Structure 1
Amino acid sequence: MAKKLDPVQSRSDFRKTRKKHRVLRIFLLTLAILLVGGTALGFFAYQKLKPTAHFNNLKAVGASGTNSNVQNYKEKAGVFNVLLIGSDARKGDTASHTDSMVLIHADLNNHTYNMLSIPRDTRVSMAGYGHTKLTSVQYISQVKKGTKQGIVDAVTAVSNLTGVPIHYYAETNYWGLKDMVDAIGGIQMNLPFKVTLTHAWYKRNQGKTFAPGVHEVNGEMVAELTHERYSLPGTDYGRQQLQEAALIGIAKKMMQPSNVTRFPALSRSLSKFLVATNMSTGDMVSMGLGVKGDFHPEQQIKYRQVKGRGATMYDDLLKANNSQVILDQNQLQSTIKKYFSN
């Protein structure tokens, strides 16, 4: 039976959970996992799952309600939308907070992958409650309705916010990112600016500084760098640039010939890195077949940013005012129309 939700206790739980976990606002690992699984199966499983046939007439996750933008979205074969979720989930947790979300519009016909990071404090509408922070949706829904439904409700909130259907989701956490990078032998990250670790996960890394440029980093340091915010230009938006650098580093390392032999073992270990996903083995095979022939991450992976403003707003879920991010609706709509629609 789901726990009975008490708003006062819920606020306390929110604060305790954040202090306890201090979890990274990661997002990029899940795409790396899907690329590992997809490219591994694409290289080693000779199945005829052509992307244009497999990714066709896809079913969206959750209900999009009366959002006319979602209803009017035109589907195209070989194209799909994925929501990557970085959470503070620990082993055995039945409820977790959304720490980061990235919407990916994958076009396997043109080999383009447009990504949009959505700040965790973005103001969204939650069915049955009203307006709240995006990070709250999954946690509260999981407490009341169960683990899977919490993910579906978070996906639905993002779909309604952006106006696009979301066909797949994949969730990971801090430990998965660290293990994944270590499993491929570390990566190179090209840092666009100076980074100082001001709230490191490990005390031994607190205060470490990295100059702009290329650095060889292991899983622990990738996790630390993608967690940093306060020393960066644009804080959350600076973090998105570091996440992009890490994702490109992971993708480039995985596609090196010397790493191809690691793919089967990695694909068999996806459960170690992945908390939850609705992607099947067939989906991953088809994705791998679509990606492997012409994959140039630095040219094809593109980050799109939508600016927002911080504001103190009333949270209908918590029945109190708190700090939220209000995305620029004009910029959001134009970005979605240009890069995330068919």
Structure 2
Amino acid sequence: MKRETMMPNKPQADQHNEDWENLRRPRNYRQRHPFRRILILAIFLLILGGGWSLWKRIQPTQHFANLKTISHPKKDYHQAKGSFNALIIGSDERRGQTSGHTDSMMLVHANLAKHHYTVLSIPRDSRIYMPNLGYTKLTSVQSVYQDKYGSKKGITMAVKTISNYLDVPINYYLETNYWGLRSMVNAIDGITINLPFKVRLTHPWYPKDYDKTFSQGKHQLSGKMITEIVHERDSVPGTDFGRQRLQEAALVGIVNKVTDPANALKIPALAKSMSKFLIATNLKTTDMISIGLAVKGNFDAQKQVHYLQLNGKNEVLYDDILENYNEEIVLNRKRLKKIISQDFEK
């Protein structure tokens, strides 16, 4: 009689574990498992592809192309890829206020592809015509429009008026005040400012700073002292023109600090916190990051930045806004036109 070979029974514990695993797994587990891997891989590739696409879009020559302008004084104007014009406004607006006078103004042309930058300081007492309102000083334009139309619309209208006045398209504007500049400098742990001449504080924000003196040359200063220095004009050569040079020196100090390779990883965080430093701007976070990529580790103010000042004739003229006679600067329009065509249309 043939004996059957009997397979030994599995131990009870092993059988129990196998039954438990079968209960936990779906019936089509073996069929679904490869699909899940493919799905995860596809999601990973999409994320990677999206990141690469974003990286390409924020490259300066790609990001700053076919830009919109706040106004169009020149129909035939052509901007090179990787370039833009920005208006930087320093106002005397205080906390809680919705309007302010312009204390300082700089027009910046940045060609990020060629690493060439032009900074044009515009005197705040320049005589300017406001459509349907008349002649006044540049310092009053912002205040008039903001009092009439509100803070946001007012600053946009002021930028449009200045764009037409200078006869140059403007892509971006940035407005800051005392508190904004102070916060910005403090956020980057102070800056090194190279003073072009001796500065003595004659009308500081804080009375205790009165008569403080800073020698010509480099100084490592906090936000508080930087704002005191760029506000000074009575003790410096050329008064308003001297103050413009101090503001330019502060701007260089800020850019030098931000573009230091050691601070490269701080650029995105700094860009996101710009609302603390700027009262108003149409710059987006991606704009700031793209600019940071362009200048990171490749910024040399002495070689790459070209500083210009607008000069004019001082005259006592009637101010239609203030309804009185006061001293204003009548700019040399011929020289202004030459500067714009040579330095802001590349």
Report the TM-score, using the length of structure 1 for normalisation. Answer: 0.80
2:46 corresponds in structure 1 to: none
2:190 corresponds in structure 1 to: 186
Residue 208 of structure 1 aligns to which amino acid in structure 2? K
1:139 corresponds in structure 2 to: 143
CA distance in 2, matches of 1:193, 1:59: 39
Within the alignment, does 1:211 sit opposite 2:220 as a pair? no
CA distance in 2, matches of 1:116, 1:130: 25
2:102 corresponds in structure 1 to: 98
- Max radius of gyration: which structure? 2
SS state at 1:71 partner? coil
Closer, same or farther: CA 194–81 of 1 in aligned 2, 3 Å:
same
Within the alignment, does 1:108 sit opposite 2:119 as a pair? no
1:261 Cα deviation after fit = 4.4
Closer, same or farther: CA 191–121 of 1 in aligned 2, 3 Å:
same
2:64 corresponds in structure 1 to: 55
Closer, same or farther: CA 105–206 of 1 in aligned 2, 3 Å:
same
Identify which of 271, 278, 298 aligns with 1:274: 278
- The 5 A counterparts of 1:7-22 are none
1:152 Cα deviation after fit = 1.5
CA distance in 1, matches of 2:77, 2:325: 35
SS state at 2:230 partner? helix
CA contact (8 A) 1:181 1:218 kept: yes
Within the alignment, does 1:89 sit opposite 2:93 as a pair? yes
Identify which of 300, 319, 326 aligns with 1:322: 326
Per-residue Cα deviation, 1:133-173 (whole angstroms, up to 9, x for no partner): 11211111111112222112211222112111001111110
Residue 184 of structure 1 aligns to which amino acid in structure 2? I
Structure 2 unmatched ranges of 5 or more? 1-53
1:312 Cα deviation after fit = 1.3
- The 5 A counterparts of 1:1-342 are 46=55, 48-62=57-71, 64=72, 67=73, 70-292=74-296, 294-342=298-346
SS state at 2:316 partner? strand
CA contact (8 A) 1:306 1:335 kept: no
Residue 57 of structure 1 aligns to which amino acid in structure 2? N
SS state at 2:182 partner? helix
Residue 204 of structure 1 aligns to which amino acid in structure 2? K
1:98 Cα deviation after fit = 1.7
Structure 1 unmatched ranges of 5 or more? 1-44
1:47 Cα deviation after fit = 5.7
SS state at 1:140 partner? helix
Report the TM-score, using the length of structure 2 for normalisation. Answer: 0.79
Cα root mean square deviation, aligned: 1.9
CA contact (8 A) 2:175 2:280 kept: yes
CA distance in 2, matches of 1:216, 1:110: 30
Per-residue Cα deviation, 1:244-263 (whole angstroms, up to 9, x for no partner): 22222222222334433444
CA distance in 2, matches of 1:260, 1:294: 11
1:274 Cα deviation after fit = 0.9
CA distance in 2, matches of 1:207, 1:56: 48
Closer, same or farther: CA 183–331 of 1 in aligned 2, 3 Å:
same
Q: Percent identity?
A: 51
1:85 Cα deviation after fit = 0.9
Closer, same or farther: CA 153–48 of 1 in aligned 2, 3 Å:
closer
1:267 Cα deviation after fit = 2.9
